[in-house]
Chains A and B, each alone.
Chain A
Amino acid sequence: MSAGIATAHSIAEPSARAKTVAGVLVVLYAVITMVPLAWIFLTSFKSPPDSISYPPKLVFAPTIEGYCNLFTTRTRQTPEYVNSLPPAADACDEITRSRNMVIAGPSNYVPRFVNSLVIAFGSTILSVVLGTAAAYAFSRFKVPLKDDLLFFILSTRMMPPIAVAIPIYLMFRELGLSDTKLGMILLYTSVNVSLAVWLLKGFIDEIPREYEESAMIDGYTRLRAFFKVVLPQATTGIVATAIFCLIFAWNEYAFAVLLTSGEAQTAPPFIPIIIGEGGQDWPAVAAGTTLFLVPILVFTVLLRKHLLRGITFGAVRK
Chain B
Amino acid sequence: MTDPSRTWSIAQEAASGMTERSSDLEMRAARATPEALARRLRGLSDRAIAWLFIAPTMLLLLAINVFPLIWTIQLSFTNYRANRPNLAVRNVGIDNYQTILTDPDTWAAMQATAHFVLWTIALQTIIGFALAYLIDRKFRGHAFWTTVILIPMMLSPAVVGNFWTFLYQPQIGLFNYVAAFFTGVEPSSFEMIGSVKLAPWSIVIVDTWMWTPYVMLICLAGLRSIPEYIYEAAEVDRASPWRQFWTITLPMALPFIMLAVLFRGIENFKMFDMVNLLTSGGPGSTTEVASITLKREAFEKWRTGYSSAFAIILFVTVFGLANIYVKALNRVKSR
Contacts and interface: CB of A to CB of B under 8 A. Distances in A.
Interface of A: 4-5, 7-8, 11-14, 18-20, 22-23, 25-27, 29-30, 33-37, 39-40, 43, 51-56, 130-131, 133-134, 136-138, 141-143, 149, 151-156, 158-171, 186-187, 189-190, 193-194, 197, 208-211, 213-224, 226, 229, 247, 250-254, 257-258, 268-269, 271-272, 280, 282, 285-286, 289, 292-293, 296-297, 299-301, 304, 307-308, 311-313, 315-316, 318
Given A19-B139, A299-B154, A208 B15 contact: yes
Given A214-B8, A221-B42, A36 B167 contact: yes
Contact of B150 (A51, A269, A272, A300): A300
A190 B273 contact: no
Interface stretch (B115-123, B195-203, B304-312): B304-312
B178 to A, nearest CB: 8
Contacts of A186: 60, 64
Interface string B69-82: 10110010000001
Contacts of A151: 326
Interface string B133-148: 0110111111001111
Contact of B18 (A208, A224, A226, A308): A208
B282 interface: no
A55 B175 CA distance: 12
A11 B230 CA distance: 10
Interface of B: 1-4, 7-8, 10-12, 14-16, 18, 21-22, 27, 30, 33, 35-36, 39-40, 42-44, 46-47, 49-54, 56-58, 60-61, 63-65, 67-69, 71-72, 75, 82, 131, 134-135, 137-142, 145-159, 162-164, 166-167, 169, 171-174, 177, 187, 209, 213-214, 217-218, 220-221, 224, 228, 231-232, 235-236, 238, 244, 256, 259, 263, 266, 269-270, 272-273, 276-277, 290-291, 294-295, 298-299, 304, 307-308, 311-312, 314-315, 318-319, 321-322, 325-326, 329, 332-333
A289 B137 contact: no
Contacts of A217: 7, 33, 35-36, 39
B285 to A, nearest CB: 16
Nearest to B171: A54
Contacts of A159: 65, 69, 270, 315, 318
Contact of B71 (A12, A54, A170): A170
Interface centre among A153, A186, A218 (most CB of B within 10 A): A218
B276 to A, nearest CB: 8
Contacts of B169: 52
B183 to A, nearest CB: 15
A166 B307 contact: yes
Contacts of B11: 208, 210-211, 213-215
Contacts of B71: 167, 170-171
Select the residue from A133, A141, A167, A318 with max chain B CB neighbours within 10 A: A167
A7 B214 CA distance: 32
A129 B213 CA distance: 30
Contact of A56 (B1, B142, B172, B307): B172
Contacts of B49: 137, 141, 222-223, 226
Contacts of B270: 159-163
B190 to A, nearest CB: 15
Nearest to B217: A308
Nearest to A166: B298
A8 B232 contact: yes
A142 to B, nearest CB: 8
A255 to B, nearest CB: 10
Given A137-B51, A308-B220, 6 more contacts: A4-B236, A5-B235, A19-B140, A269-B158, A293-B156, A311-B214
Nearest to A141: B50
21 contacts: A12-B228, A12-B232, A14-B138, A23-B139, A25-B134, A27-B145, A53-B172, A136-B53, A137-B51, A153-B61, A160-B290, A166-B298, A168-B64, A208-B21, A210-B14, A218-B4, A251-B158, A268-B273, A289-B162, A304-B147, A304-B150
A194 B235 CA distance: 45
A19 B155 contact: no
A247 to B, nearest CB: 6
A237 B272 CA distance: 30
A277 to B, nearest CB: 17
Contacts of A193: 57, 60-61
B254 to A, nearest CB: 14
A35 B51 CA distance: 51
B166 A282 contact: yes
B333 A315 contact: yes
A155 B322 contact: yes
A211 B6 CA distance: 11
